[in-house]
Amino acid sequence: MKKLISLFAAIVLVSGFTTVSAQTQGVKATATGSATIITPIAISKTTDMNFGNVAVNATAGTVVLTPASGRSITGGATLPAVTGTVTAAVFHVTGLGTSTYAITLPTTYTITSGLNNMIVNTFTSTPSGTGTLSSGAQDIQVGATLNVAALQPAGAYANATGFDVTVNYN
């Protein structure tokens, strides 16, 4: 009987360890990882901005160049009959299919002629703020406001370093 009780105790003891051992092993699931590499968004300048010919008098003024290359004036700025070259800046954006992207325009830009300068600001674009690629491409037209001082000295004003337009996928 003593052997039977010892055998029974051994069986219960082994069964208990087996159950405890199974409970401490835990369960698991498996997941896989993946990634998709997309076409990077890119931008290139195709046309420089040019306000064309502007005449001034003793009053300060502005020339507003629209993204469609139209001009309007305020104050002492006038637009002579000989317009010169008038163009909004144009940038070509490429990327993934029909993705949308954010457009960031500069705030100010200075153009100079010798020691004289003029400020270009109030940049606008078409599309404005956000663009949508069509078959992976879209053009952005950029206009701005040229601030002309009273009696602004004559000269060809420019800035060879250019201004930045930035695009990022949304």
> Which SS3 state, helix, strand or coil, does residue 57 take?
coil
Look at residue 55 and tell me whether its pLDDT is greater than 90.
yes
Task: Enumerate the domain spans of the chain.
Answer: 42-169
Query: Architecture of domain 42-169 in CATH?
Result: Sandwich (2.60)
The answer to whether 158 and 138 are in contact (CB under 8 A) is no
Give the per-residue pLDDT at 141. Answer: 98
Of the pLDDT bands very low, low, confident and very high (cuts 50, 70, 90), residue 3 is low
Give the per-residue pLDDT at 25. Answer: 84
Rounded to whole angstroms, the maximal C-alpha distance in the chain is 125
Give the per-residue pLDDT at 10. Answer: 53
> Which SS3 state, helix, strand or coil, does residue 56 take?
coil
Query: Cβ of 159: how many Cβ atoms within 10 Å?
Result: 13
Which one, of 144, 134, 146, lies nearest residue 165 by Cα? 144
Give the per-residue pLDDT at 21. Answer: 52
Rounded to two decimals, the pTM is 0.81
User: Across the strands, what pairs with 2?
Assistant: none
pLDDT (tens digit, 9 = 90+) per residue, 101-160? 999 999 999 999 999 999 999 999 999 999 999 999 999 999 999 999 999 999 999 999
pLDDT (tens digit, 9 = 90+) per residue, 7-35? 455 555 555 555 555 557 899 999 999 99
pLDDT (tens digit, 9 = 90+) per residue, 59-116? 999 999 999 999 999 999 999 999 999 999 999 999 999 999 999 999 999 999 999 9
